[in-house]
Amino acid sequence: MNKFKLFLLIIVFLFGLINIAGAEEGVTDTEIHIGQWSPQTGPAAPWGAVARGTGVFFQLINEEGGIEGRKIVYHMFDDSYNPAKTKAGVKQLQESVGIFAWAAGIGSATGLAVKEYLMSKNIPWVGPCSGSTQWTNPPQKYLFSIYPLYATEAKALCKYAVETLAKKKIGIIYQNDEYGKNGLIGATEELKAHGLELTISIPLDVETSDIKPHVLQARKSEAEAILLWVSPFHAVRIVGTGKMMKFSTQWMTSSTCSDFPLMYSLSGGLWEGVIAATFSEFALSDVPDSPLMLKYKEAFKKFASKDERWSVFFWAGFGMVEPMIEAIKKCGKDLTRENFVKQMEGIKDFQGVAGKNITFKPFDEKDPSSRQGLNSVFLVQCIKDGGTKKLTDWMEFK
């Protein structure tokens, strides 16, 4: 081998090393690795449909050719709504596989278990399936929240209860963690604005099986409306126990319990009349499907398991990651985390199947809105057979 050929081989070898060293974690010429945790088992298992919906959405994208020739490799694991399992699973996948970004992720307490780890490594996380203020206050450069704040939902419900239903005695049964406490904060603040206080606030641990004492406390308070900031299983049992105890009140709840067909079925029809917050017009029974939703339904028929149910939780798994995919597409071939963040910050008035006019802004450590993409909700009521009736227009709270 002459010196010139040897020189060329050395140059090619060095450029190869540079390319390897400069490659973004979780990204190759043909793949993008995205992760998500989700409760496929345990007390919050109904919410696990979100992650399965995300999986079908990614299969649809891959079937269409991927993004710039790259297919999405989706890594989803069951954490059973257990923060310790969330932390272990995220760390294991991140350090063994190398995840480019994390999508959605169910739960406030579970998300808090990994938030510091992800942010310390500058790993993007888009669309936590939780309305905790912890995601945006203070804002984090690599964390983009889409889900409206639980406090916003609670404020909307209390405002409606006071101004429209003329209720003055309002209480709350809340999960004794980050999720439930955010609902408690919102309810307290909104009632204070009306010169009122919560009639009663009852904490409930996620492991609790006997909820009779909680319902008994609520009944003794004579609350005219009770907010439920708990898991779907607990919510159904509370309403059922209330019926058994002949406790007549207006039950109200977060979007986390807004899958009316499911809740109606689980409760044996007792969910009829319950009022919930929601953030998608497609949650309504009488809203025609858009071309985009029809496309998603076709993907569901093609890729979802035979025992899967098309539901608000399932297609929320599409909606929570639509902005993420939009930003990846805008990155083109230059898919780095820094470019991805830049493209996310350029998303303005985005309209998919979840939310209205999702918008982000350049990072500002003093501005939570720079990382809170959605601030509006509206209220719906469960009607016969799990149908959905719209009660209000969009309501926005700062």
The token duo for 342 is 């830049």
Among 278-282, 295-299, 326-330, whose mean pLDDT is lowest? Answer: 278-282
Residue 184 tokens read as 């408690």
Q: Are 354 and 127 in contact (CB under 8 A)?
A: no
Q: What are all long-range contacts of 181-184, with beta carbons under 8 Å and residues at least 24 apart?
A: 182/108, 182/131, 182/132, 182/133, 182/149, 182/150, 182/151, 182/154, 182/229, 183/150, 183/151, 183/153, 183/154, 183/227, 183/229, 183/254, 184/154, 184/229
> Cα separation of 144 and 88, whole Å?
22
- pLDDT tens, residue by residue, 26-66: 999 999 999 999 999 988 899 999 999 999 999 999 999 99
Residue 148 amino acid letter: P
Name the token pair of 168. Answer: 């003055």
Band of pLDDT at residue 20, cut at 50, 70 and 90: very low
Residue range 301-311: average pLDDT?
94
| C-beta of residue 172 within 8 angstroms of C-beta of residue 201 | yes
pLDDT for 345-389, tens place per residue? 999 999 888 888 899 999 999 999 999 999 899 999 999 999 999
- Determine the pLDDT at residue 43: 84
- Average pLDDT of the segment spanning 196-211: 95
Q: Which pLDDT value is given to residue 23? A: 72
Phi, psi of 50 (to 5 degrees): -55, -50
Enter the pTM of the model. Answer: 0.87
Strands (E), the chain: 31-38, 71-78, 101-103, 125-126, 143-144, 170-175, 200-204, 225-229, 250-253, 275-278, 376-383, 387-390, 395-396
CA dist 90 and 93 (Å) reads 5
SS3 content of the chain, % helix, strand, coil (to 5): 45, 20, 35
286: confidence class by pLDDT, cuts 50, 70, 90: confident
- Which residue, among 262, 267, 269, 314, has the nearest Cα to 293 in the 3D structure? 314
Q: Check: CB of residue 148 under 8 Å from CB of residue 387.
A: no
Residue ranges of domains in the chain, CATH in brackets: 31-148+289-363 (3.40.50.2300), 150-278+379-396 (3.40.50.2300)
Beta bridge partners of 250: 225
In this prediction, residue 10 carries a pLDDT of 45
